[in-house]
Structure 1
Amino acid sequence: MTIYKSTDGEHAVKQCYNEVLNLCPVAFEQLTLPTRHGDTHVLACGDETLPPLLLIHGAMSNVSAWFLNIAEWSQHFRIYAIDMIGEPGLSEQVRLPMDSDGYALWLDDVMEALALSNTAIVGESLGGWLALDYASRRPEKVTRLALLVPGGVGPQRKFLMKALPLMLLGKWGKRKVREMIFGAEQKNPSTTAKKFRELFALISRHVKPRWDKLPIFSDQTLQAIKAPTLAIVAGKDVLLDSKVTQSRLEANVADIKVVYQPQARHLISDRREILTFLKGEKSSS
């Protein structure tokens, strides 16, 4: 199985990704962990004596999604940023059924390989779905849970119907689709920002997206989550229904704070609440 459309495309994405890894703002180790579904690549940083923190990125992404945050977060936590299996990182190219315990078992293997009995987790989008799934199945293993636009709570929007006509309009249309999801691109990007843009352009060109819908968690499943939880949702999210996400989390997760950012899109850039929450401090807002 491969997630790539061609061998040349796979080579181009991985070469660019390795170049992006060199732009990581802190010293790091690269770990290759054995799991029942193949090797999993993890970027580790921060003092090993600090509390652990797992970072799980979204679909069509990799650990570079956290590079704007890990310099600050790694001052307080030993960070393990995971390349999700089945996505364009350096982990095994296997995509598991979403309506199974496959991803929870995979994370069990990751936890065991890292010698972690429990950990805090931050998950974004599809990674938020994985984090919620794991916290509901393994409540004793999750100490705190921070979610950015998590999938599986509110319904997915029918964005594809809007995006497909634009995708046929060349570079202009593709840029418009990106802006609808992530917001306007920088006018004069830095060299680093240009490299990130190059990577995600290669990913969108060469990687097969997942078309299967995320299963929606039942109320009972959400009620099984015991960890203190923070969720940040976006008012202009074209992929997920943020209002339903907020209302269902508040109704079913015992210890929950939902932050609604009315002007934010699916990519949440303002993440200041997360570190305060992970440290167990009260927010000033």
Structure 2
Amino acid sequence: MAKTSIYKTDEGKEQIIKYYNSLLSQWTQPSRQFYIDTQLGKTHIIESGNKENPAILLLHGTGSNSAMWTYDAKILSETFHVFAIDIPGECGKSSENRPDFKDENYSNWISAITKNLGLNQVSLIGCSLGGWIAMDYAINHPDKVDKLILMATAGVTQIKLKSVLWIILTSLTGSWGFNQLNKMVYGNLTIDSQALEFASLIKKYFIPRTGALPVFTNESLGKIKASTLFIGGENDCFYNSEKAASRLKEYVDNIQCHVLKNTGHILIDQTTKILEFLKTDYNEI
């Protein structure tokens, strides 16, 4: 297991966590924050919702943390038992470990979490990197996943090379590059002031992963048995959503795919669509 320093300075880490805590103050529904020990180190979890309801794990994207689920968790918690999980090696409160994406490191991590929480079967919502981890678990433990929701997910198509080159270029060009990178990621969306402030802290103090996420084989995708929902933007700067949807439809049974017009990598206002999908086949709802 590779252990690296993921922050440029200790002060930078403190500022990012402090801002994360300020964002979590907007998590208005009843909840608790706690840690569990896993093979990847301490994992930070935010739990909300009725324990008698079906369980959902929320997995954020890279360079982010569970604050991205604040609005979604409020809605989902009304009918589901929600666990928002900070992924190790990202800018949340979990350990700084960054294991290899091979050897089932992340599916074993999710297994450890579900075992610790006493959850036999779960649904997963994953965004980008979180989508890759959710798929990895669904592939390696198909009987443990009820519903799988993939948002702008990695792992289905190769990342666009021009985007990688553009990120490298903009990282060397100060505030102009920072603004251009935000435009690339957010597309036509107006960038929220809090999101902009957090992105500024990330650029200044956080060291992101540099390697591309592996693309799952056709055989691996065919192992997914969960009812699956894919949502992607037609203008996603990192992944080709049309190609991803086409490939998923070919190899994953029982899947719905939505490619959103005039939408980039950042997806907003999808909670209603996700909730409708999750409620399907739940007799108690």
> Shorter chain as normaliser: what TM range?
over 0.9
| Structure 1 segments unaligned to the other structure (5+ residues) | 188-192
| Offset, 1:177 | 1.0
**Structure 2 match to 1:43:** 46
Q: Which runs of 4+ in 1 moved over 6 A?
A: none
CA deviations over 1:1-56 (Å, ceiling 9, x no partner): 32111111111111111111111132210011111221100001111111111000
Match of 2:183 in 1: 179
Whole-Å Cα distance in 2 between the matches of residues 162 and 203 of structure 1?
A: 17
CA distance in 1, matches of 2:42, 2:173: 39
The residue identity in structure 1 corresponding to 2:116 is A
Retained in 1: the 8 A contact 2:49–2:82? yes
Q: CA RMSD in A?
A: 1.6
Counterpart position of 2:276: 276
Partner of 1:128, secondary structure, is: helix
Report the 3-state secondary structure (helix = DSSP H, G, I; strand = E; otherwise coil) of the residue aligned with 1:67.
helix
Write the letter of the residue equivalent to 1:89.
G
2:28 corresponds to 1:25: yes
Q: Does structure 1 residue 116 correspond to structure 2 residue 115?
A: no
Secondary structure at 2:159 match in 1: coil
1:261 alignment partner in structure 2 = 260
Distance in 1 between residues matched to 2:189 and 2:262, nearest whole Å: 16
Deviations 1:122-150 (A, max 9, x none): 00001000001100000011000011011
User: 1:212-231, aligned counterparts within 5 Å?
Assistant: 212-231=211-230
Matches within 5 A, 1:37-76: 37-76=40-79
Aligned to 2:12: 9
Give per-residue Cα distances to partners, 1:98-118, cap 9 Å, x unaligned: 122101111111111111011
Following superposition, the deviation at residue 185 of structure 1 comes to 5.7
Question: Structure 1 residues 186, 248: closer, same or farther in 2, change over 3 A?
Answer: closer
Residues 24 and 70 in structure 2, CA contact (< 8 A), matched pair in contact too: no
Q: Could you say what secondary structure the match of 2:230 adopts?
A: strand
Q: Which amino acid aligns with 2:275?
A: L
Say yes or no: does 1:247 pair with 2:280: no
For residues 217-244 of structure 1, give each alpha carbon's deviation from its aligned partner in whole angstroms, at most 9, with x where no partner exists.
0010000000000000110001112122
Name whichever of 157-166 and 223-232 sits farther off.
157-166
Q: State the aligned residue count.
A: 277
Query: 1:140 is aligned with what amino acid?
Result: D
Q: Read off the aligned partner of 1:125 and give its amino acid letter.
A: S
Structure 1 counterpart of 2:228, one-letter code: T
Q: TM-score, normalised by structure 2?
A: 0.93
What SS does the corresponding residue of 2:41 show, helix, strand or coil? coil
| 8 Å contact from structure 1 (residues 154, 243) kept in 2 | no
Match of 1:145, SS state, is strand
- Aligned mates of 1:239, 1:126 — CA distance in 2: 12
Partner of 1:246: helix, strand, or coil?
helix
Letter in structure 1 aligned against 2:8: K
Counting aligned pairs with the same residue, the percent is: 32
- C-alpha distance in 2 between matches for 1:68 and 1:175: 25
For the pair 1:90 / 2:74, whether they are aligned, the reply is: no
Give me the whole-angstrom Cα distance separating, in 1, the residues matched to 2:78 and 2:259: 27
Task: Find 2:109's aligned residue among 91, 106, 117.
Answer: 106
Q: Secondary structure at the match of 2:61?
A: coil
Alpha-carbon distance in 1 for matches of 2:175, 2:71? 26
Counterpart AA for 2:7: Y
TM-score (norm 1): 0.93
